[in-house]
């Protein structure tokens, strides 16, 4: 063992004071967001049923930097800045000449990156007079983060958790309840859509699209008493996550290196956008050529096998219509353990960049991701969440490719959350119960289920 540096730590004074908005540098024209009823471009008045005006303004903003309110920065200081760590033990195990770095967002108070936007969304809702929020959650990381944030700002919260995760990850439910929020398995009988869906599909494992529908219906039916909050996909959510990449830029400078490739898992796109967008800014404005790689499950391969088209953001067709790579709004994915990656679509900003060739995407199998997660735990000591194990799988593959080619390569990935509440998933891996849920996709079938949009 050597005395070479492992960790690159920033002080509270280095905490970003602004979020970076990639809309200011987007190299392709933005795609419109459509009203699900009229299919016309959406208006702030429609969005105001779901979101406070301050977040709507951020959603549509083209300002390059948006100030982070001091109240939000003060809460960020409970865990930010997060460490950047050189994975030297993993490098040694792989025998690779590559240098592997990871940003440890599992160090946050909720155990994942989700808290970055949860605190911001709760704050903006609070100052706009919102008293209660409703949301969906997949594996429970987002629900946990928003429950913490709502507790900080004395707001009520209802969470609809994808049914298969609700039952397989009971301790996330306990965390959410511990912070005073109410949580229900989705589909549920608490909403008209959920009850109707259960009648037709009583054994449904649920999906993020269904849970979104229930949360949106709850907000819409509240007559203004509740707003809807989401943990991924929309522009303002990815905006709040860019504290990750901005810190990484400073920390890579401390390490006297710069990444050849930046990697993150993708479900809706928030942790990917958070680390990738500041590096894309460098590519777009400073002439850098860092490869940006999004990693998704083979069971939900929206980017790699989906259709780039307008589709509803939820199953019940109540959320806005977005142009994205989609598997169809009524798609119900296999009940893989990476519950946070089981969304049928993808953030429009990421889809535009992928379609235009500014980022790459790969899909990896479930058993291989857990194999990577176990190796990471055995070498670096951290048990990663199943979601972020996808990024680790891709980082390992990059490092092995560098080894085969005899190339030095600097690899940076986002460890978006720890897996201490996902041990049943690791038990399934060790017991040989995991299945390889690679999905066969027919784009003609997807196309037949999409809304008719004429612009």
Predicted confidence band of residue 1 (pLDDT cuts 50, 70, 90): very low
Within a domain: 348: yes
Within a domain: 361: yes
Does pLDDT of 131 surpass 50?
yes
pTM: 0.95
Encode pLDDT of 339-356 as tens digits.
Answer: 788 889 999 999 999 999
Within a domain: 241: yes
Within a domain: 171: no
Within a domain: 182: no
Structural domain including 85 reads 7-15+68-111+236-440
Average the pLDDT over 75-88 and give the result: 98
Q: What does the alpha-carbon distance between residue 391 and residue 113 come to, in Å, rounded to a whole number?
A: 14
Domain count within the chain = 1
- CATH at residue 100: 3.40.50.1100
Does pLDDT of 2 surpass 60?
no
Q: What does the alpha-carbon distance between residue 153 and residue 129 come to, in Å, rounded to a whole number?
A: 11
pLDDT of res. 8: 97
pLDDT of res. 3: 59
Within a domain: 166: no
Q: DSSP letters of 117-165?
A: HHHHHHHHHHHTT--EEEEEESSSHHHHHHHHHHHHTT-EEEEEEEHHH
SS (H, E, C) 220-288: HCCCCCEEECCCCCCHHHHHHHCHHHHHHHHHHHHCCCCCCEEEEECCCCHHHHHHHHHHHHHHHHHCC
Within a domain: 105: yes
Predicted confidence band of residue 336 (pLDDT cuts 50, 70, 90): confident
Encode pLDDT of 252-272 as tens digits.
Answer: 999 999 999 999 999 999 999
Encode pLDDT of 193-244 as tens digits.
Answer: 999 999 999 999 888 889 999 999 999 999 888 999 999 999 999 999 999 9
- Residue-wise burial string across 134-145, b where 16 or more C-beta atoms lie within 10 A, e elsewhere: bbbbbbbbbbbb
Average pLDDT over the chain reads 95
pLDDT of res. 440: 87
pLDDT of res. 342: 83
Predicted confidence band of residue 436 (pLDDT cuts 50, 70, 90): confident
Within a domain: 288: yes
Predicted confidence band of residue 137 (pLDDT cuts 50, 70, 90): very high
pLDDT of res. 437: 79
Encode pLDDT of 16-26 as tens digits.
Answer: 999 999 999 99
């Amino acid at each position: 063992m050597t005395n070479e540096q492992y960790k690159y730590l920033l002080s509270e004074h280095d905490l970003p004071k602004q979020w970076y908005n990639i809309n200011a540098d987007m190299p392709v024209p933005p795609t419109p967001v459509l009203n699900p009823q009229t299919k016309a471009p959406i208006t702030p008045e429609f969005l105001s049923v779901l979101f406070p005006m301050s977040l709507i303004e951020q959603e549509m903003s083209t300002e390059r930097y948006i100030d982070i309110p001091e109240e939000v920065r003060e809460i960020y200081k409970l865990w930010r800045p997060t460490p950047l760590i050189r994975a030297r033990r993993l490098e040694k195990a792989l025998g690779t000449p590559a240098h592997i770095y990871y940003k440890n967002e599992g160090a946050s108070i909720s155990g994942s990156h989700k808290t970055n936007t949860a605190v911001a969304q709760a704050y903006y809702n609070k100052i706009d007079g919102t008293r209660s929020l409703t949301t969906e959650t997949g594996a429970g990381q987002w629900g946990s983060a928003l429950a913490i944030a709502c507790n900080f700002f004395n707001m009520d919260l209802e969470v609809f958790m994808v049914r298969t995760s609700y039952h397989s990850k009971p301790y996330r439910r306990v965390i959410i309840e511990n912070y005073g929020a109410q949580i229900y398995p989705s589909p549920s009988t608490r909403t008209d859509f959920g009850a109707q869906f259960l009648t037709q599909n009583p054994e449904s494992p649920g999906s993020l699209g269904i849970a979104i529908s229930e949360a949106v219906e709850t907000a819409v039916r509240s007559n203004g008493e509740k707003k809807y909050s989401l943990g991924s996909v929309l522009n303002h959510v990815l905006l709040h996550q860019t504290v990750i990449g901005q810190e990484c830029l400073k920390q890579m400078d401390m390490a006297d290196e710069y990444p050849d490739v930046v990697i993150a898992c993708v479900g809706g796109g928030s942790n990917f956008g958070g680390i990738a967008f500041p590096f894309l800014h460098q590519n777009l404005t400073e002439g850098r050529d860092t490869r940006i790689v999004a990693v998704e499950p083979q069971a939900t391969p929206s980017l790699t096998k989906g259709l780039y088209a307008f589709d509803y953001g939820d199953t019940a067709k109540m959320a806005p219509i977005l142009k994205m790579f989609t598997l169809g709004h009524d798609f119900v994915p296999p009940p893989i353990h990476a519950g946070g990656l089981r969304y049928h679509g993808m953030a429009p900003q990421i889809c535009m960049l992928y379609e235009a060739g500014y980022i790459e995407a790969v899909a990896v199998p479930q058993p291989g991701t857990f194999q990577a997660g176990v190796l990471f735990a055995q070498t670096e000591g951290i048990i990663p969440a199943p979601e972020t194990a996808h990024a680790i799988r891709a980082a390992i593959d990059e490092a092995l490719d560098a080894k085969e080619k005899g190339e030095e390569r600097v690899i940076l990935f986002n460890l978006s959350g720890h897996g201490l509440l996902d041990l049943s998933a690791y038990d399934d891996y060790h017991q040989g119960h995991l299945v390889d849920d690679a999905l066969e996709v027919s784009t003609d079938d997807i196309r037949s289920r999409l809304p008719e949009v004429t612009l």
